[in-house]
Chain A
Amino acid sequence: MKQLAIVIAVLLAACTSDRAEPKPPATKLAEPSDAIDQELMVALGQAKNFHHKAKLFMADGKVDDAIAAVRQILSLPFPKGAPEAEDVRNDARAMLAKLLVGKAQFDEAARVVDEGIAQSQRESFFVANLHTVKGEIFEAQGQAANAITEYDRSIKINEALQKRLLEQR
């Protein structure tokens, strides 16, 4: 009976202490899906390294190594839906295409550019840049009309974007 009384006393004391000192409400932070996170920073850091690696290869005249380095940027894993991923990949495609043009690989350069334009989910300065590079490819091949068409598309995108950005400010 004494043990039973002790158990009851302990239970009552525990309940009473909980009542006397209510815990502050916990705050649960919901994770925003578009917050900059470690995965994005790692991907951007990798892209940065590959670009600089390609730059060094180009300085040494190792164009093929530079092309290989830039191609690796295209396969970097970015967070799903991150807008930076599309921008960085399109910029890498633009650089890759220019390297390929330097090696007179016009078809491969055009394919790289077209893939980037086709896969883009939105218009951006990077998409406009791809059109510019595509114009250069046509220009290098002596297709001035096609080049002008691509330059015009690039200009049109840039103007629309700048207008939109100005309206947002």
Chain B
Amino acid sequence: MPTTDDEDDLMLGAVPDPDDEATPAERAHARTFAELVDKTLVGQTPVAMSADDRALLDVATVIRVTSGGLPLAASKQRSIVEAALAKAIGGGRPTTTTAELPSAPAAVIPLAGRERRRFVPWAIAGVSTLVAAAAIVLLVVRAPTVIHEVDTARVVPTEQRSRPTDALIGPIARERAGDAATRIDTIFADRLDGYRDRTLGGGKP
């Protein structure tokens, strides 16, 4: 590993010309970094590492794998595949960098769990539909309120009905032909009795 001073020289110093010969410090840094890449490819990534080195290591690892035909460690392959699938399934999980994959493989949500979550809205919709259908069926099938139509024409007494007044008044004598005021009193009183019986005796007007 290069020293901090060397890193400062490399990172903060002037950018060398492409045709310039590599300095010993650059060579030592490159050799150290190459070893770091090799260790990473076999799953022996150092625990402590600077952010710059980790970024460089990510890039180098990908370049090495894609161009050199070297296989990734099984755990790393699984992590990368699961991360890609998780991203494809969607779920809002932040995109993981390749640098995080080896160190945090457990953070990847299992695909089986993702699949279950995909079916939750459909399950809710299905159950809701079933409940609604069951409610409708119950409303239709449930016993209707029985309404008994009573023929009140047969139960209403004669004295509570509108009817001719002949039986009440009787034959009208000639000398009383113009005494309509007395007869209307009789008719009114009789019909009022029937009306009261009907309205106050439990019947409906």
Contacts and interface: CB of A to CB of B under 8 A. Distances in A.
A31 B172 CA distance: 34
Given A1-B124, A15-B138, A48-B184, A26 B146 contact: yes
Contacts of B205: 35, 37-38
Interface-central residue, A54, A70, A129, by most chain B CB under 10 Å: A129
Contact of A28 (B127, B147, B153, B198): B147
Contacts, number: 160
A104 interface: no
A65 to B, nearest CB: 15
B148 A25 contact: yes
Contacts of B134: 11
B147 A25 contact: yes
Contacts of A124: 164-166
Interface of A is mostly: helix
B162 A36 contact: yes
Interface in A8-64: 8, 11, 15, 18-19, 22-23, 25-32, 34-38, 40-41, 44-45, 47-48, 51-52, 54-55
Nearest to A92: B180
Interface-central residue, B138, B165, B178, by most chain A CB under 10 Å: B178
Interface size bracket, A side: 35 or more
A118 interface: no
Interface stretch (B35-43, B108-116, B186-194): B186-194
Interface-central residue, B153, B163, B181, B195, by most chain A CB under 10 Å: B181
